[in-house]
Amino acid sequence: MKIYFAGSIRGGRKNSAIYAQLIDFLKQFGEVLTCHVGDGNIKKLEEQFTEKEIHDRDFKWLSEADVVIAEVSTPSLGVGYEIGRAVEAGKPILCLYNNHADFELSALIGGCEALNVISYDHLSEIFSEIEKFFKSIGLKD
């Protein structure tokens, strides 16, 4: 299985450590195409690419992905765009939102019936919820 993990990059990197932990957890379910999202040095890493190269690479991965997992606690234009494109493609999508975030969850995420949204207080709470999500879409026994 191929997993597309989405998290804020230019919108803010406050949750990069959470992204890294989620990515490590997701690796047990399949190949995470976007491991770089959890890298604390991502801005430096991406300096070697043009914006078009980043766009084209990421949407190639998004089209290959079987499922999308998005951490949506930090507002991000890019993550919202990725989620919208994944909805259009009919991909299973799980959005994770920290109840202690500095921002409210967007109504466009919270109100979209095509999305599975899980709110959490502590990261440890959502690992079993992620497993349930994979089972519910038939991607894990």
Q: What is the pLDDT of residue 38?
A: 81
Q: Where are the domains of the chain?
A: 2-136
Which residue matches tokens 């919820």?
129
* pLDDT tens readout for residues 89-121: 999 999 999 999 989 999 999 999 999 999 999
Q: What is the pLDDT of residue 139?
A: 67
* pLDDT tens readout for residues 58-93: 999 999 999 999 999 999 999 999 999 999 999 999
Q: What is the pLDDT of residue 133?
A: 95
The residues, any chain, with a CB within 8 Å of residue 11's CB and separated by 6 or more, are 74, 75, 76, 77, 78, 79
Q: pLDDT band for 52, please (50, 70, 90 cuts).
A: very high
Q: What is the pLDDT of residue 30?
A: 95
Is 141 a residue whose pLDDT tops 60? no
Whether domain 2-136 has CATH 3.30.70.1400: no
Q: pLDDT band for 21, please (50, 70, 90 cuts).
A: very high
What integer is the mean pLDDT of 7-25?
A: 85
Q: pLDDT band for 46, please (50, 70, 90 cuts).
A: confident
Sign of CA dihedral 62, 64, 68, 73: negative
The residues, any chain, with a CB within 8 Å of residue 72's CB and separated by 6 or more, are 79, 83, 95, 96, 97, 105, 106, 109, 117
Mean pLDDT of the chain: 91
Q: What is the pLDDT of residue 39?
A: 76
